[in-house]
Amino acid sequence: MKNIKYLLAIIMAVAIVAVSLSSRADEPKPKPYPLDTCLVCDMKLGGSMGGPYVFVYKGQEIKVCNKSEEADFDKSPDKYLKKLADAEAKLK
């Protein structure tokens, strides 16, 4: 009887994970971040400080130096999105 309960618990856990993953597959891929610098502080990403902190804002991938800079971004997202658009225009 205990084995059946454990087996059912495992099957339910696998089903939950499968549903979670399948719902993410339906989400569109975010627009890639085109710069090699932090959007908030303009420092080069990577290097000795490790990899960037990556998050998605309204379908746009955003890369910053660390999680605390996401809070700075959230205070003025329009300012940083304009900065990103201007930088993208210069790259073209």
For the chain, counts of helices (H) and of strands (E): 3, 2
Kindly state the tokens that stand for 59.
Answer: 């379908």
φ, ψ of residue 19 in degrees (nearest 5): -65, -40
pLDDT score, position 21: 59
Report pTM: 0.69
Which residues touch 67 (CB under 8 Å, ≥6 apart)? 53
- Domain extent, residue 17, equals 2-91
pLDDT at 46: 82
* Mean pLDDT split into 10-residue runs, the chain, 92 residues: 69 67 70 95 85 96 95 96 94 81
Give me the residue label for tokens 């059946």.
Answer: 4
Burial zone of 23 (CB within 10 Å; 0-12 exposed, 13-18 middle, 19+ buried): exposed
Q: How many separate domains does the chain show?
A: 1
